[in-house]
Amino acid sequence: MRSRQSMLEIFSTFLCFEDDLVTRWIVDGKLRRSIQTCLGSSREDEASPRFWALYWHQTWQAEAVTDRSSPLGKIATNHLAAYLQEVCYWSAQKIATDLSKKQLISDFFQIAMIKLDRVIKGFKADRGTELKSYASLAFTNAIKDTLRQRQEVEICTDWALLHKVSHKRSIESLQQLGLNPDTIAAYILAWECFKTIYAPTGQGSRKLDKPDLAALNAIADLFNRELGNLSNAPARCDGETIFQWLTTLGAAVRSFLYPTIVSASQPKSASDSSEFLDDFDFTVQESLLTQTIEQEDEIDRDSQRSQLQKILLRALVKFNVESQRLLQMYYGQGLTQKEIASQLATKQYTVSRRLTSVREALLTALCTWSQTTLHKTLDPNVMNDLSVTIEEWLMGHYSHPDLHTETSKR
């Protein structure tokens, strides 16, 4: 993969896969115009990619407050998508290589890119870490989590799946079918009745079979008794209708939790930008630009990051060999807790407990430091942020030579 050099490329091009190989970078013309405007009109023509990434992240944040789907917010998202192409690729590639089964990198790449919105939402510039290192962590874990979920979907029958899907996702699956809210409410009630009457009754909940006629009729009876609670009560229904609804829901849930990935051979930006970018007036947000400059200065001036490194390193060397090895396997080799357990011939439980207590020691060190040295007021959200910072740091520390901190060119 040829690495991108110019600022124009970095914020306006997307990877193109052919037969699971990256062949070239595809330019999105509109994004190119946008970044061109930015570069041209700004005094910051010496700025680093990191600077513009911060700028677009700030733009996204400002837009997200007012309007989730504003055109400017979308442009920001797409610029960040372009910016994070390599990070996403390396996360996908690493996991595809680690897995023994033949897996498509392009597939993993897409899985990760689908989560881009949440990555952007989860990143907080004021943690003092890089968007790239956060994205690397989040993409990697998102891919792993999706694989776990898919594996479970694959081995479950539709009927088992109906017990293993959340309320929230059930509704979303039905929304994706284009059903109206009243119909969805009726389906959901039928689903609740199903779960009440028909459930796994012993070992092997993944193989739950289709309910028999008596069970279906019982579900219909319960549904008919309860339908008065719906705001627009549907007609009474029988076991046959219930069966159809549940079958529809089961299939909808399956394809929602394990969507068929469209071929990745076409250039795929996260953008569906054409229709809304055509008549969009590209301008640089002066106030945001100033804010970003200030923020970047602050991050650079901040000696906190090197102090933080020291604190963590000091805590890290105190761990015994076993714990060090565990961290190396988890963060360095990217193994799952389960995989580590089988390599060490121990139980996942033990791995999990040890990992938790190692992370606790690091978190305690960091919290104490920020409370006593920085005189920061801690609250659980701040602590959670510190915890994510530790994660980013551990991941960077144990792996990813390709993610070495970009230094500002300014």
Partner 1 sequence: MNTPSGLSMFAIPQLHLQLADNFQSQFWQQAESAYSHPGSRWQAALNQACLEGFLAWIQVERAANAQAWVKAASRPSFWEIVNGAAINFDGGRVILIPTPAIDFAELRVPQEWIDLPSWAGDYYLSIYVNLDDGEIQVLGYTTHHQLKQQGHYNSSDRTYSCDSDDLNSDLNVLWLSRQLCPTEILRAEIDPLPQIPLEQAENLITRLGNATQLRPRLAVPFLLWGALIEHSGWRQQLYRHRVGLPEQWSMSKWFQAGISTLGQQLGWEMIAMEPAVVLARGEQNTTTKILLRQLTIAGQPYELRVLPKGDDLWRFELHSTSTNNIPCGVKLRLLTEDLLPFANHEDIALTATDRLFLEVQVSPGDGLVWETEPQPDLFDREILRF
Return the residues of window 187-216 that contact partner 1 according to CB under 8 A.
188-189, 192-193, 195-206
Nearest by Cα to 330 from 106, 88, 137, 152: 137
Angle, CA of 25, 30 and 31, to the nearest 5°:
60
322, two tokens: 């076993």
Whether 81 contacts 116, CB under 8 Å: yes
Whether 127 contacts 389, CB under 8 Å: yes
Residue 14: DSSP 8-state? E
Nearer to partner 1, 23 or 224 (CB): 224
Q: What residues contact residue 289 under an 8 Å CB cut-off, 6+ apart?
A: 42, 44, 55
Site for partner 1 in 53-112 (CB under 8 A): none
Q: Taking the CA atoms of the chain, what radius of gyration do you get in angstroms?
A: 25
Site for partner 1 in 120-139 (CB under 8 A): 121-124, 137-138
401 binds partner 1 (CB under 8 A): no
Segment (H or E) for 54: helix 49-66
3-state secondary structure of 100: coil
Site for partner 1 in 335-374 (CB under 8 A): 337, 347-349, 351-353, 355-357, 359-360, 363-364, 367-368, 371
168 binds partner 1 (CB under 8 A): yes
Cβ neighbours, 10 Å, residue 261: 14
Nearer to partner 1, 199 or 313 (CB): 199
Binding mask 247-266 for partner 1 (x = CB under 8 A): ----------x---------
Nearer to partner 1, 32 or 359 (CB): 359
380 binds partner 1 (CB under 8 A): yes
Tell me how far apart the alpha carbons of residues 374 and 308 are, in angstroms, rounded to a whole number.
Answer: 11
Q: How far is CA 269 from CA 25, 27, 284, in A?
A: 11, 9, 22
What angle in degrees, to the nearest 10, is found between the helix axes of 105-114 and 85-98? Answer: 130
Answer for which of 385, 397, 398, 408 binds partner 1 (CB under 8 A) is 385
Tell me how far apart the alpha carbons of residues 208 and 158 are, in angstroms, rounded to a whole number.
Answer: 8
Nearer to partner 1, 263 or 381 (CB): 381
Site for partner 1 in 300-339 (CB under 8 A): 330, 337
245 binds partner 1 (CB under 8 A): no
> Which among 11-19, 68-76, 113-121, 280-288 is the span making contact with partner 1, rule CB under 8 A?
113-121
Length of the chain: 410
Nearer to partner 1, 100 or 166 (CB): 166
Nearer to partner 1, 124 or 210 (CB): 124
169 binds partner 1 (CB under 8 A): yes
Answer for which of 391, 393, 396, 403 binds partner 1 (CB under 8 A) is 391
Nearer to partner 1, 41 or 387 (CB): 387
> Which among 49-57, 163-171, 304-312, 397-405 is the span making contact with partner 1, rule CB under 8 A?
163-171
User: HSE-up of 58 (CA within 13 Å, CB side)?
Assistant: 21
> Which among 33-41, 147-155, 289-297, 399-407 is the span making contact with partner 1, rule CB under 8 A?
147-155
Whether 87 contacts 132, CB under 8 Å: yes
> Which among 2-10, 145-153, 295-303, 305-313 is the span making contact with partner 1, rule CB under 8 A?
145-153
For residue 21, the cross-strand partners are: 18
> Which among 28-36, 185-193, 266-274, 281-289 is the span making contact with partner 1, rule CB under 8 A?
185-193
176 binds partner 1 (CB under 8 A): no
229 binds partner 1 (CB under 8 A): yes
Tell me how far apart the alpha carbons of residues 407 and 314 are, in angstroms, rounded to a whole number.
Answer: 24
